[in-house]
Amino acid sequence: MASEQAGQELDKKLFGNDFAWGVSTAALQIEGSCGADGKGTSIWDTFTSKKGKILNGDKPTTACDFYNNYREDIDLVKKLNIPNFRFSIAWPRILPKGEGEVNQAGIDHYNKVIDYCISQGVEPWLTIYHWDLPQALEDKGGWTNRDIIGWFTNYVQICADAFGDRVKNWMVMNEPAVFTGAGYFLGIHAPGRMGLRNFLPAVHHVVLSLVAGAKLMRKTLPDVHLGTTFSCSHIEPYSDRPKDIAAAKRADALINRLFLEPILGLGYPIEVAAIKGIQKYFKPGDEDNMRFDFDFIGLQNYTREIVKYSFFTPYIGAILVKAEKRDVELTDMKWEVHPPAIYHMLKKYDSYPQIKKIIVTENGAAFPDVVTGDTVDDPKRVTYLQNHIQQVLKAKQEGCKVFGYFVWTLTDNFEWAEGYHPRFGLIHVDFDTQKRIVKASGQWYANLLG
């Protein structure tokens, strides 16, 4: 009953006229057409072809076929009263080898998507890098190779030149902590590398590339609204024992502070032993090239984590207490449903004076969906969105500098290592027929924004 009450109280007017409402997607997860029209191979094309890496052996080959269905999907964005549509550019679609010859068909495709958004009165928000590194660059070391700073800025320049005359809102990168942590430390995401010897250089080169790309964007397109996005989880210690409290602080440094703080000019949180080794990858002048004054920071939050001390966990001496062992409500991702987490993270980001403006660039939930005829009733997702948006409002009303909220995601899609199993969309997709059905949650969001 409380959530229904919260939903009734929600009114977009309470957020002000300058609050950006939207929905977020990513190229690899929705486009399909992996080899079409000159597109090169990405690390995810390679990774998903390896046995046992992706749930059910799923591949992003077709996904939601957004590459061919973009008009229909953008029409649905408009129909749902969503004014802002965030999507990403696939680096291998623009540069099949990651550098060198530009694939004009790729440029043409994104021009068509951008132009169609604008023709429908939908504002395009572009993410330049959302995890799909060209395989040709991974073959040269990927993010562990310092040369990637040049490869990345070259790619950024091409995007700025091609799309900057119409796109006013840009994000340089998506969730660096996830694509480095899962891809270069744990090996559970592409490219599947493991260990600190891969992770630490990747972290440092990502920070340097992010800032170099942002500086180039600022120089090329001085008037655009420029940001970048960070994943975050609200972290609480398992108990009030000093060892658990200290473990939670170390986990917070790794999960929430590792990328955000250097960008803000505060340096890496090297008080954590695992992170200290990053200093050996520094070259003279790097400190000056690690910070940038973004117009906004994108905050992406889904849950909280409970952390306790662990003698047996190398590097960090901390482990997450799994949500399924804590008798809490879970999403299909086995993440705890804990709406106050987004409030706490907004307050945490707001406490940094260097951050001018926060936009929630992703928040949402995967729950099992049941299709009945042409309807999908998803009350858990509706409640999740209501309660999280309510927490955003609470933070805003307390003076927090939050100026936008984007739902993850528009359509059910390819959810990385989890394949097609978790459904996050406001719109249900039958992956065999590509039929779309707006879920009850999509209709709820449309009514909020209508």
Q: How far is 333 from 3, CA to CA, in rounded Å?
A: 22
Give me 121's structure tokens: 């009165």
208 — pLDDT class (breaks 50, 70, 90): very high
* pLDDT computed for residue 105 by the predictor: 98
φ/ψ of 111, rounded to 5, equals -60, -40
Place of tokens 């891969």: 198
Q: Is the pLDDT of residue 2 over 90?
A: no
Q: How far is 54 from 221, CA to CA, in rounded Å?
A: 39
Q: What is the pLDDT of residues 271-330, one digit of tens each?
A: 999 999 999 999 999 999 999 999 999 999 999 999 999 999 998 999 999 999 999 999
Residue 277's SS3 state is: helix
Give me 407's structure tokens: 């739902």
Give me 63's structure tokens: 């996904």
Relative orientation angle of helices 176-184 and 196-220, to the nearest 10 degrees = 150
Q: What is the pLDDT of residues 357-392, one digit of tens each?
A: 999 999 999 999 999 999 999 999 999 999 999 999
DSSP 369-408: --EETTEE--HHHHHHHHHHHHHHHHHHHTT--EEEEEEE
CA dihedral 73, 78, 79, 85 (to 10 degrees): 60
* pLDDT computed for residue 109 by the predictor: 98
Q: What is the pLDDT of residues 7-21, one digit of tens each?
A: 448 999 999 999 999
Give me 339's structure tokens: 């709406």
Instruction: Please list the residues that pair with 362 across neighbouring strands.
Output: 300
φ/ψ of 21, rounded to 5, equals -100, 135
* pLDDT computed for residue 130 by the predictor: 98
* pLDDT computed for residue 9 by the predictor: 82
Place of tokens 């190229």: 27
Q: What is the pLDDT of residues 53-105, one digit of tens each?
A: 999 999 999 999 999 999 999 999 999 999 999 999 999 999 999 999 999 99
Give me 245's structure tokens: 């409290």
* pLDDT computed for residue 5 by the predictor: 38
Neighbours of 25 (CB within 10 A): 26
428 — pLDDT class (breaks 50, 70, 90): very high
**pLDDT, averaged across the chain:** 97
* pLDDT computed for residue 277 by the predictor: 96
Average pLDDT over residues 395-411: 98
Q: What is the pLDDT of residues 410-420, one digit of tens each?
A: 999 999 999 99
338 — pLDDT class (breaks 50, 70, 90): very high
Consecutive H or E run containing 77: helix 66-79
**Which residues are marked as active site?**
175, 362
- Spell out a b/e string for 365-392, using b for 16 or more CB atoms within 10 Å of the CB, else e: bbbebeeeeeebebebbbbbbbbbbbbb
Average pLDDT over residues 233-259: 98
- Specify whether the CB–CB gap between 308 and 321 falls below 8 A: yes
